[in-house]
Amino acid sequence: MKCVFASGFLAIMAAFSFSACAAEAPILPGSASSSAAAPGIMANTADLEFMVRALPVLHSSVDLGERILEDENLSPGVRIIAEKAVARPQDEIIQLNELKGQWGNSPLDLETHAKEAMQVTDPTGAKAVPQSQGDLQHLNDSWGGEHELTYLLLLRQQLGDSIELAEELMAEGESLRLRDIAEQMVQVKSRRINEIDEYLNTVNEEPRELR
């Protein structure tokens, strides 16, 4: 009888010990437990590809907006649009980097991709223009000095690129947090495009079709 009691007591203690260890064990990224416990920070290939492609586009948007703001002759309306174009991508970069930190090491070298040289498309569709120090001046000269129209069309192109990436992520991504960021990007950047179009209409300029 004592042996039966002792064996039963040991079985209960072993089960309790196993439960305690399981409760304290960390959830590793990519494990089955992590998928059930924290679906908001899981990442699939589409999520990682979005991060790799989105970070350079957002950095490029900030850089473009900052260089536009260096123009001391900007009209108040264009300055406001450019300031918004800088502020929002900065917030999105912070959010993406924080999320990347939660994922830990990934198969893709995100830092390398984010620092690669970026290019923007000439709104005339003629060629791709490297984002160097003189690219805006080159475009302004080729367009006959239409500085502010050039700025707005470049910003509009960047916004469209960001929306396209975000929509792809929303269709195929797995991370709930990343999908939320992408949804906000679509909403905010769509409003920015509408503001640019409205501004162009107020100055009797029809928005040119971007190719």
Q: For 139-167, how does the pLDDT look when each residue is reduced to its tens digit (9 = 90+)?
A: 444 443 467 888 888 999 989 989 998 99
Residue 163 within any structural domain of the chain: yes
Counted domains in the chain: 1
Report how far Cα 136 is from the mean position of its chain's Cα atoms: 24
- At 25 the pLDDT is 38
Residue 190 within any structural domain of the chain: yes
pTM (whole model) above 0.75: no
- 190 by Cβ neighbours in 10 Å (0-12 / 13-18 / 19+) ranks as middle
Residue 121 within any structural domain of the chain: no
Q: Which two tokens stand for residue 48?
A: 């990682």
Residue 61 within any structural domain of the chain: yes
Range of the domain at 145: 44-116+133-202
Q: How far apart are CA 176 and CA 170, in angstroms?
A: 9
Residue 193 has phi, psi (to 5 degrees) of -65, -40
Residue 77 within any structural domain of the chain: yes
| Residue 76's CATH number | 1.20.1260.10
Average pLDDT, the chain: 67
Residue 20 within any structural domain of the chain: no
Portion of the chain with pLDDT greater than 70, in percent: 54
**Using 50, 70 and 90 to split pLDDT, how confident is the model at 105?**
low
Residue 16 within any structural domain of the chain: no
**pLDDT tens-digit map of 193-203:** 999 998 888 77
